[in-house]
């Protein structure tokens, strides 16, 4: 029996090559028209040297935005079904809806401190352009933190399965989507590079049909 597992999913976005450049142009236009660096007005002091859009990014009617949103919601429904199917009534079907969505365009020196996302069950980070992010040097990567806050209070050979580092680093891969439960704390480590690091993130809720 395994209890209190934390599922985390990674998926390739099949439409990435087609939507990448139009979406980057769209996001850069938003940045050029910005009214503030952090337009969401959320956790402003936890972020540095990055532009964050408001929380309605995927509500835009641009065809590439809507195509991406449809894929994200399909993936959230798939993940929720995989995790919950044994707890749902028979023949139940999941319907996912993205409730908040935004972009980050991170310049050199930028980061986003550790945080989690309220008012949703699942979250996603889509790597639209990783810029100069690099896994080996931990440059501009996303880091997830062990939610079992007391798991490392004592470590010996019998607790190696706990992954005593307390962290899980995700390699930044352009065109990939990382899906994770909303309670899981994570951060974007400091980024250094000549090119912007661009991601789209979202929160989603799931209902049964």
In terms of Cα–Cα distance, which of 197, 173, 172, 170 is closest to 184? Answer: 170
Q: Does residue 1 fall inside a structural domain?
A: no
Task: State pLDDT tens for residues 153-185.
Answer: 888 889 888 876 789 999 999 999 999 999 999
Q: Does residue 172 fall inside a structural domain?
A: yes
Q: Does residue 188 fall inside a structural domain?
A: yes
Q: Does residue 2 fall inside a structural domain?
A: no
Q: Does residue 137 fall inside a structural domain?
A: yes
Taken in order 15, 70, 129, 171, the sign of the CA dihedral is: negative
Q: Does residue 70 fall inside a structural domain?
A: yes
Number of separate domains in the chain: 1
CATH label of the domain that carries residue 84 = 2.60.120.620
Domain span holding position 169: 9-151+161-208
In terms of Cα–Cα distance, which of 69, 46, 172 is closest to 117? Answer: 46
| Low-confidence stretches of the chain (pLDDT beneath 70) | 164
CA distance 188 to 159: 28
Spell out the residues 6+ positions from residue 125 whose beta carbon is closer than 8 angstroms to its own: 142, 177, 178, 199, 200, 201
Strands (E), the chain: 9-12, 47-52, 94-115, 122-129, 142-145, 167-170, 176-181, 186-188, 197-208
Spell out the residues 6+ positions from residue 148 whose beta carbon is closer than 8 angstroms to its own: 4, 162
Q: Does residue 4 fall inside a structural domain?
A: no
Q: Does residue 195 fall inside a structural domain?
A: yes
Whether the CB-CB separation of 103 and 199 falls below 8 Å is answered with yes
């Amino acid at each position: 029996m395994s209890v209190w597992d934390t599922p985390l999913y990674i998926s390739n976005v099949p439409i990435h090559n087609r939507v990448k450049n139009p979406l980057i142009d769209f996001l850069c236009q938003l940045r050029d028209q910005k009214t503030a660096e952090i337009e969401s007005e959320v956790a402003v002091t936890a972020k540095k040297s990055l532009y964050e859009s408001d929380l309605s990014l995927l509500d835009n009617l641009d065809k590439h935005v809507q195509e991406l949103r449809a894929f994200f919601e399909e993936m959230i429904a798939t993940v929720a079904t995989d995790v919950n199917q044994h707890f749902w009534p028979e023949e139940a079907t999941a319907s996912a809806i993205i409730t908040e969505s935004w972009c980050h365009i991170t310049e050199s020196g930028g980061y986003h401190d550790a945080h989690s996302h309220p008012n949703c069950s699942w979250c996603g980070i889509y790597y639209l352009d990783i810029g100069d992010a690099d896994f080996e040097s931990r440059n501009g990567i996303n880091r997830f933190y062990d939610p079992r806050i007391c798991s490392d209070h004592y470590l010996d050979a019998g607790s190696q399965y706990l992954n005593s580092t307390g962290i899980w680093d995700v390699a930044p891969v352009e065109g990939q989507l990382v899906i994770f439960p909303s309670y899981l704390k994570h951060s974007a480590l400091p980024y250094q590079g000549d090119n912007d690091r661009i991601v789209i993130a979202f929160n989603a809720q799931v209902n049964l049909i």
